[in-house]
Amino acid sequence: MSSEPQAAAGPASHDDAVIAPPRIGINERLLTILVPIIMLGLAILGWHLLVTLNNIPKYILPGPQLVFQTLWSDMPVLFPALLVTLRITFSALGLAVLVGVLFAVLLIQSKWIELALYPFAVILQVTPIVAIAPLILIYAPSTQIALLIVAFLVAFFPILSNMVQGLKSVDHNLLNLFDLYGASRWKQLIYLRLPASMPYFMTGLRIGGGLSLIAAVVAEFAAGSAGAGSGLAFRLLEAGFRLNYARLYAALILLTLTGVAIFGVTSFVSWLVLHRWHESAVRREN
């Protein structure tokens, strides 16, 4: 009775080794948080040194300490104005997402529809919004609706353009496979085109989020609306006219923080949607 020779146990070769995917260490996570904070602190320190060492008067360039004190003390005035601007911003962004997605779906249904309607979207995009804002203010039934229309027009095109590109960027082999199995246009849209367009849509959402805030402020500048229901743009103009530059810088910082927050939220939404399957959000394993 013969026994088959057994392979001698030995160290595994390099080809047989399983390479574990690298993980983000605690140090790397801390660095991604600390580095931006340190750079921001250095910028504020440079601002403080510039004002202090050159004895720049506060009516020309206020120091960061005075600006942050003003931001805190004037918050009862600035925060309600910020809420007005945010209401216009998010209303315009939501409307741009809804109309942009529906319009993109309509455009890809036929080449003739795209040729007929897409130029109008391009014309609205390339026309300076400051030039058409006074006309919108004339024909709109109210100032708030005019501000909403202006902000919508600016945020609309990035979402539309990216969505159209995403709906067109479907693998032709997959389209042929759906056709082979007799899938209808509706099923192709739901199960193939819309999922494939998500990375493009999320890019348009991040761009549109920032542009909607900018457009809301520009629209408020053009409208020149004042009073209790005015937005943060009016507070900027008011502070400039009164030479209250500390409040002006405080309002600018508030707008900047709002823009960063909008970008952070839209980026987080994009990560939630894409991080399990798309290469742009999946960390490399080697």
The pLDDT assigned to 123 comes to 85
> Which of 56, 76, 102 delimits the end of a domain?
56
Residue 223 covered by a domain: yes
The pLDDT assigned to 18 comes to 45
> Which pTM was predicted?
0.78
Listed as ranges, residues in the chain with pLDDT below 50 are: 1-22
- Do 118 and 28 have their domain in common? no
Residue 7 covered by a domain: no
- Do 52 and 72 have their domain in common? no
DSSP state of 283: P
The pLDDT assigned to 25 comes to 55
Find the CATH number of the domain harbouring 95.
1.10.3720.10
- Do 101 and 243 have their domain in common? yes
Distant-in-sequence, close-in-space partners of 223: CB < 8 Å, separation ≥ 6 = 133, 137, 143, 146, 147
- Do 191 and 89 have their domain in common? yes
- Do 48 and 151 have their domain in common? no
Residue 140 covered by a domain: yes
The pLDDT assigned to 23 comes to 53
The pLDDT assigned to 15 comes to 47
Residue 191 covered by a domain: yes
Q: Are 81 and 235 in contact (CB under 8 A)?
A: yes
- Do 118 and 40 have their domain in common? no
- Do 44 and 147 have their domain in common? no
CA distance 252 to 260: 12
The pLDDT assigned to 2 comes to 45
Q: Which domain range does residue 258 map to?
A: 59-274
Count CB-CB contacts under 10 A for residue 31. Answer: 12
- The gap between the terminal CA atoms of the chain, to the nearest Å, is 49
The pLDDT assigned to 50 comes to 92
Distant-in-sequence, close-in-space partners of 220: CB < 8 Å, separation ≥ 6 = 85, 88, 147, 230, 231, 232, 233, 234
Residue 213 covered by a domain: yes
Report which residue type is found at 238.
E
The pLDDT assigned to 99 comes to 93
- Do 138 and 101 have their domain in common? yes
Residue 16 covered by a domain: no
